[in-house]
Amino acid sequence: MPEPTNPEHHHGYISEKDGYLNRMRRIEGQARGVARMIDQEQYCIDILTQISALNRALEGVALGLMDDHLAHCVLDAVRAGEDQGTAKLKEASDAIRRLVRS
């Protein structure tokens, strides 16, 4: 379950927010490009190559967000106390498990 937004709490990625948004806009463009390739009935291997690049781009964003989460949110929770730290570590482990499965 996502944390409620607290205006006084900043997520670990906030310093990289613009970079993440730019990367996501490029990924959106790539996804539209793949759809256009399919619509134009381009060669299967060329489409698969673009899908592979799209997957790598998404993985890059996910790994960056995970690094930021570990370096900020998890570390802050560990410093705050054992119970909070344990909960954040489990949350991070669960997120990693979902990423690996996808």
Specify the pTM. Answer: 0.78
Q: What is the pLDDT of residue 33?
A: 98
Q: What is the pLDDT of residue 15?
A: 80
Per-residue model confidence as pLDDT tens digits over 40-92: 999 999 999 999 999 999 999 999 999 999 999 999 999 999 899 999 999 99
Longest dimension (CA), the chain: 57
Q: What is the mean pLDDT of residues 5-15?
A: 63
pLDDT at 5 over 50: no
DSSP state of 56: H
CATH superfamily, domain 17-101, is Metal-sensitive repressor, helix protomer (1.20.58.1000)
Per-residue model confidence as pLDDT tens digits over 34-49: 999 999 999 999 999 9
- Read off the amino acid at residue 46: D
Q: What is the mean pLDDT of residues 12-28?
A: 91
Domain boundaries, the chain: 17-101
H helix intervals, 1-102: 17-39, 44-68, 75-80, 82-101
Count CB atoms within 10 A of the CB of residue 70: 16
